[in-house]
Amino acid sequence: MQTSFAGGGLMTAGASPDPAGSGSEFPADFSADLSVDPASGFLAPVSRGSSSGSGAAVAAMALTRLGDSCFQPQAAPGEYLDCSALVQWCYERLGASVPRTAADQAKYCQEHFLTIPRSQLQCGDLIFWSFEKNGRFQNISHTGIYAGDGKIIDASYSRSQVVYRDLYDPEKIVMCGRIPVKQ
């Protein structure tokens, strides 16, 4: 049995998806957080608890970019990605305009009363990290999209691609935000 994967590839039931064919490793439980959307036939994040449908749409959009190259100096939402270009690309496709950089996205969340406590994270919410002083808003240098169940989707600099992985460096998280989108 084969299942469509969000990037257009195919996945055999029980196999770990690798949309880019790059040999990248995904957690063994990767597919446990995804289900096949009957309308589209694509994998989508499983909405658990009170996660909103619009948040699931943001995460599903980000999943379509898994394996895409990221390269910060040439980042643009439709081409090479960096963390904030991925976020901007997802939200634009869902009818919301967000600033270009991670620091400006966090500032936007704060200025528009869209920040949330980490304890209230839902699928599709944004997470912002500060790894060092950089002179930007709250020294923010990275963002990712929460995918639920302790997982994120982000443009990984160390892996040079968009990845789905466990939430990391919780002590470096400085803010979380929820930007509404049209459905």
Residue 10, strand partner residues? 4
Q: Is the pTM of this model over 0.85?
A: no
b/e string for 132-154 if b means 16 or more Cβ within 10 A? Answer: eeeeebebbbbbbbbbbeebbbb
Q: Is the dihedral of CA 57, 82, 102, 17 positive or negative?
A: positive
Q: Report the alpha-carbon distance of residue 147 to residue 60 in Å, rounded.
A: 9
| Tens-digit pLDDT string for the chain (183 aa) | 333 333 333 232 333 333 333 333 333 333 334 444 444 444 444 443 334 578 999 999 999 999 988 866 555 555 668 899 999 999 999 999 999 999 999 999 999 999 999 999 999 999 999 999 999 999 999 999 999 999 999 999 888 899 999 999 999 999 999 999 876
Burial 44-63 (b: 16+ CB within 10 A, else e): bbbbeeebbebbbbbbbbbb
- The CA distance from 25 to 14, in Å, is 14
